[in-house]
Amino acid sequence: MTLVLLLGVLWRHMSSARLPSAQVRSVLGILIINFVAPALIVEVMLTSNLKQELFQVPASGNVTIMVILLLSLALYVMLLRLHIITRVQAGALVLASTFGNGMGMALPAVSALLGLPQRDIPVVYDLLATVPFVWIIGVLLCAHFGTRVASGGLGKELLRLPPFWALAIALGMRYFGLVLPDPIMKTLHLLGSAAVPLLLLMVGMTLHVGREMRFGLLIPVVGLKLFLSAGLAFGVGHIVGLQGATLAATVLTAAAPPVGVGVALCDRFHLDTELFGTAMTMTTVLYVVLVPWLVSWLA
């Protein structure tokens, strides 16, 4: 996992003007969103043994995200009123502290450390908890803290995401007991197996550290995103009945570094993109270092 991530970082720093890393990352993003992720979701959901976990995992995720969001808003609004940070910094920090990269980082981590049978947990967590929050609440917060007014219907982006419809179709097929032909399932598996390395490459190409950065601002992000999110998911997961590897996968997903789409949202609403990118880089490095220890502690 780490080596593929480093390949993405290496590409970012060694890419030529003819094929810049931003262009490669954009193409990979389109490929993943429209083909690879939907194939992975349908295959995982149709072959998954999840039952009550389909409700327990999103419940744990939604409670965790909501609590972290409220704490982030309270903290960064206070710092804003004390003139310690600017409005655009507050928006970027709220975004970085609250919404995790379940598909981009948690999925590879869970697959590598807990095994392929648990890879459906980050998918369910991401699509039934993180994605709706990001594209509705997250977008509204970006518009509130940013310098641009939100254009109408941004919340509808959720309904335009192929992964969302892939999940809806897969859940419907599970409910009605429908089965896809074996050749189609093999094709879905072939496409879905590309998700982990491609997502890691994308994350690696995104990582960077700002030249003039107040690193003290990132301490709350690390505390909220990596540690408190994991603790909340562990506690709520226990309450709703999660246990064993499923609980561990939920905790790893909750602790995942900031969501990659946050860079695009910061650009769109003129938030502090450099601060967000540096926060994502720092938390990603710490996540890669700490997640094996977290798995051994949860075992």
Query: Residue 261: which domain range?
Result: 52-179+209-298
Question: Does residue 190 lie in a domain region?
Answer: no
Reported as a pLDDT band with limits 50, 70 and 90, residue 227 is very high
In sequence order, the 6+-apart residues with CB closer than 8 A to the CB of 257 are 100, 101, 105, 225, 226, 280, 283, 284, 287
204 within some domain: no
Q: Answer yes or no: is 244 within a domain.
A: yes
Residue 5 belongs to some domain of the structure? no
- pLDDT value of position 247: 96
Rounded mean pLDDT, 207-218: 72
Q: What is the pLDDT of residue 195?
A: 81
Label residue 70 by pLDDT band (50, 70, 90).
very high
Percent of the chain with pLDDT over 90: 42
Give the range with max mean pLDDT: 36-40, 89-93, 200-204, 256-260.
Answer: 89-93
pLDDT in tens, 250-298: 999 999 999 877 887 887 788 888 888 889 888 988 999 999 999 998 8
**Residue 299, helix vs strand vs coil:** coil
Question: Greater confidence, 232 or 298?
Answer: 232
Whether 96 has a pLDDT exceeding 70, the answer reads yes
pTM of the model: 0.81
What's residue 150's pLDDT? 46
Q: How many domains does the chain have?
A: 1
Q: Which two tokens stand for residue 281?
A: 């880089």
pLDDT score recorded for residue 259: 85
Residues with Cβ within 8 Å of 265's Cβ and at least 6 positions away in sequence, in order, are 95, 134, 138, 139, 142, 271
Any domain includes 199: no
The verdict on residue 273 lying in a domain is yes
Please tell me which of 70-84, 169-183, 189-203 the model is most confident about, judged by mean pLDDT. Answer: 70-84
pLDDT average, residue stretch 154-170:
74
pLDDT for the residue numbered 17: 60
Say which DSSP state 206 is in. Answer: H
| Domain membership flag for residue 113 | yes
Residue 34: pLDDT over 70: yes
pLDDT at 152 over 80: no
In a domain, 195, yes or no: no
Look over the chain and give the mean of its residue pLDDT values, rounded to a whole number: 86
Report the pLDDT value the prediction gives residue 211, as an integer from 0 to 100: 60
Burial of 84 (0-12, 13-18, 19+ CB in 10 A): middle
Does pLDDT of 21 surpass 80?
A: no
pLDDT for position 78: 97
Least confident among 114-123, 194-203, 238-247: 194-203
Both tokens of residue 295?
């798995």
